[in-house]
Every structure is written in C-alpha cells, then in structure tokens.
Amino acid sequence: EGGAAGVHCGRRLLTHLPEAGVPLLRAGSSDWVVFPRDGAYPANEAYFLYHILHFVETELSGHPELDEQKFADWLHTRRRQIAEGELVYIAHQLDVLAETP
C-alpha cells in the first residue's frame, strides 16, 4: 500500500510531480467498465479480460503472502465467469499528462 505502487499511487503522483518541478498539464479519470450483454461480451472484451487475468496471475504467482491454492481457485473462478459471460470488471484509473522541464 505504500511506496511507488498501491491504490493511491495516481493520487500521490498529482502532488509529487509538481513538488519535483514537473508541471502537470492534464489529469482525469479513465475508468474501464467491462460487462456482458445477454451472457456474452461484445467485440474483444473477453480477450481483454483474459489478458487482465494473465497479468494478475503473472504478477502475483509465488507471492509469499498469497495462499497458492486459494489464488488458483480464484483464477479458475474468474476464467469460468468470463467463459460463461458473468464477470463484471471495473478498474478506476487516473490518466496524468506532465511535461518534463
């Protein structure tokens, strides 16, 4: 939760950049909302969801604080939900544009 990463890193970036002499040009929300329609995902949204899960799996596999079996079960459940058109994915993000001095 601390350091350079975590759920508040974008918020911290908005204050740290100006403090470091880097002017902020723009900032705004960039949320992703992916949900099925009639039990299926439009376009390539299922493909996108599988890649998000792959990223999570790659980054967290072997993490000492995660129970390996519970994590595998969680991934299996999410993949099943995608295959059956049940998973809703929402990611709150912040886009930041800054100019180097």
What token pair was written down for 62?
A: 């072997």
Average pLDDT score over residue span 58-78? 97
Helix/strand/coil for 47 = helix
Residue 83 has pLDDT above 80, yes or no: yes
- First CA to last CA distance, the chain: 29
Query: Which residue's entry shows tokens 């993000």?
Result: 93
| 4: confidence class by pLDDT, cuts 50, 70, 90 | low
Residue 83 lies in a domain: yes
- pTM of the model as a whole: 0.77
Residue 71 lies in a domain: yes
> Which pLDDT does position 91 carry in this prediction?
95
Residue 22 lies in a domain: no
Per the structure, the complete domain to which residue 82 belongs is given by 29-93
Residue 3 lies in a domain: no
Residue 66 lies in a domain: yes
Helix/strand/coil for 33 = strand
Look at the chain and report how many structural domains it folds into: 1
Which DSSP letter does residue 42 get?
Answer: S
Question: What distance in Å separates the CA atoms of residue 35 and residue 59, rounded to the nearest whole number?
Answer: 24
